[in-house]
């Protein structure tokens, strides 16, 4: 059991986390706003703007919805949580760091030529977010006193984060080892649902 000094209410941490995620999602659009200004200065038409900035637009949309899905998973994970421990606080801080880092890497993806380091940073950041989520879930699994009803989380609750981590790891490996795979390796995420179902059954058993 944790000492009383180790446990603090979780509400402020969650409010702060939500604010950080909202800011990170907003920051994704800034490179596109700069591109609009440059396009206006150069006299480009709307069609020309979209043609010249298709990479930025694609990376913005992808990163926006990935952050949205990460936030949704975080929100569901914290539904029954009433208290935070020091370990959860620091892991949640790392989770926020990975979310805030994604707009920087997204801007690189949209504005620079693709190279292995860029691929590794982009997909690796998402992998890090998934692994950190799994770490927070492990804390909640081991410490039911952090939950509102003190009822332990089911092992099957690890399935979504575990499936995400495996799929991002697979995409990371494919992107860096298969010639021409590049960001297409993220299509591996479409296999997430059946893998999550399998993990939920295995962990539940």
| Tens of pLDDT, residues 19-64 | 999 999 999 999 889 889 998 999 989 999 999 888 889 889 999 9
Averaged pLDDT, 2-13? 76
- Note whether 127 and 189 are within 8 A (CB): no
| Residue 2 clears pLDDT 50, i.e. is over it | no
CB pairs under 8 A, 24+ apart, for 63-66?
A: 63/28, 63/102, 63/103, 63/106, 64/25, 64/28, 66/102, 66/126
Q: What is the CA radius of gyration of the chain?
A: 19
SS3 82: coil
Which of 168, 157, 153, 159 is CA-nearest to residue 195? 159
Query: Rounded to an integer, what distance in angstroms lies between the CA atom of residue 77 and that of residue 161?
Result: 10
| Residue 187 clears pLDDT 60, i.e. is over it | yes
Averaged pLDDT, 9-15? 94
SS3 107: helix
pLDDT at 152: 78
């Amino acid at each position: 059991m944790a000492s009383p000094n180790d446990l603090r209410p979780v509400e402020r941490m969650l409010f702060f986390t939500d604010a950080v995620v909202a800011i990170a999602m907003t920051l994704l659009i800034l490179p596109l706003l700069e591109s609009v200004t440059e396009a206006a200065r150069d006299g480009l038409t709307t069609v020309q703007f979209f043609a010249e900035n298709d990479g930025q637009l694609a990376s913005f949309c992808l990163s926006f919805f990935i952050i949205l899905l990460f936030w949704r998973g975080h929100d569901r994970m914290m539904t029954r949580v009433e208290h935070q421990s020091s370990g959860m606080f620091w892991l949640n801080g790392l989770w926020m760091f990975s979310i805030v880092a994604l707009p920087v890497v997204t801007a690189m993806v949209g504005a620079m030529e693709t190279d292995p380091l860029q691929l590794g940073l982009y997909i690796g950041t998402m992998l890090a977010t998934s692994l950190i989520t799994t770490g927070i879930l492990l804390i909640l699994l081991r410490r039911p006193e952090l939950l509102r009803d003190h009822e332990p989380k089911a092992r099957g609750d690890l399935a979504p984060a575990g499936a995400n981590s495996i799929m991002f790891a697979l995409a990371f490996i494919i992107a860096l080892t298969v010639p021409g795979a590049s960001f297409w390796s993220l299509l591996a995420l479409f296999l997430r649902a059946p893998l999550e179902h399998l993990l939920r059954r295995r962990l539940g058993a």
